[in-house]
Structure 1
Amino acid sequence: MTVALMWEARAVPGRGGELLQWARAQRLDPGPLRRETFRAPQDRVLVITWWDAPYDAELPELPEPDSALITRAVHRWRFESVGTG
């Protein structure tokens, strides 16, 4: 089964680049099958990781950044793949 973990944070205004750099520097052990990092308006950063694991498996996740860098707690979601098409 493929499980996708989503991690989304919103930086303090003007610090989106710093949050993006921080997120990209975080290592996961073991590493995921795939990892993509996105940015959006309002200094938001999204990281999606894909894993070959059961839905409820314990998987490494990105931590919370320093509270001085973000405007709110990180949002996290877990999804299971239902295929393509």
Structure 2
Amino acid sequence: MTVALMWEARSAEGRGAELLAWARAQELPARPVRRETFRAPQDRVLVITWWDAAHDAELPELPEPDGELVMRAVHRWRFESVGEG
């Protein structure tokens, strides 16, 4: 089964580039099948990692950034693939 972990944060005012650089520099203790990083208006950063694991498997996730770097707590979601189409 494929599980996707989504990590989304909104930076503090004017710190979007810094949050993006921080997220891209974070190493995980295990390597996912795939990892992709996105940015969006309002200085939002999204990281999706794909894992070959059960939906409830214990998987490494990106940590919370320093509180001064973000406006609010990180949002996290976990999805399982239902196939293409």
The bucket for the TM-score relative to the shorter chain is over 0.9
Q: Secondary structure at the match of 2:62?
A: coil
Tell me the residue number matched to 2:64. Answer: 64
> Could you list the runs of 5+ residues in structure 2 that have no partner in the other structure?
none
Task: Give the structure-1-normalised TM-score.
Answer: 0.99
Distance of 1:8 and 1:46 partners within structure 2: 4
Cα shift at 1:60: 0.2
Distance of 1:75 and 1:48 partners within structure 2: 12
Distance of 2:33 and 2:14 partners within structure 1: 32
Q: Deviations over 1:28-81 (max 9, x none)?
A: 111100000000000000000000000000000000000000000000000000
Tell me the residue number matched to 1:52. Answer: 52
When the two chains are superposed, the root-mean-square deviation of aligned CA atoms in Å is: 0.3
Task: Give the structure-2-normalised TM-score.
Answer: 0.99
> Could you list the runs of 5+ residues in structure 1 that have no partner in the other structure?
none
Distance of 1:70 and 1:16 partners within structure 2: 9
Cα shift at 1:13: 1.4
Tell me the residue number matched to 1:74. Answer: 74
Q: Percent identity among equivalent residues?
A: 80
Distance of 1:7 and 1:31 partners within structure 2: 16
Letter in 2 for 1:29: P
